[in-house]
Amino acid sequence: MRNALWPVLALAIGFAARAGKAPKRSAAAIALGRATYAVWCVACHGERGEGDGPTAHTLDPRPRNFSTGKFKQGSGVSQIFGTLGKGVPGSAMVGYKNLSEDERWSLAWYVLELKAGRK
pTM value? Answer: 0.82
Identify which has the larger pLDDT, 18 or 102. 102
Backbone angles phi and psi of 40, in degrees to 5: -105, -15
Q: For the chain, give the percent of residues with pLDDT over 90.
A: 78
pLDDT at 19: 57
Residue 94 β-bridge partners: 87
Residue 55's nearest CA partner among 41, 36, 73, 69 is: 41
Dump pLDDT digits (tens) for 19-57. Answer: 568 999 999 999 999 999 999 999 999 999 999 999 999
Q: Please state, in angstroms and rounded to a whole number, the distance separating the CA atoms of residues 87 and 97.
A: 9
Give the CA dihedral 101, 116, 44, 38, nearest 10 degrees: -60
CATH of the domain at 7: 1.10.760.10
User: Domain of 92?
Assistant: 2-115
Question: What is the pLDDT, as a whole number, of residue 7?
Answer: 41
DSSP result, 35-61: HHHHHHTHHHH-TTSSS--TTGGG-SS
Q: What is the pLDDT of residue 102?
A: 97
Tally of structural domains, the chain: 1
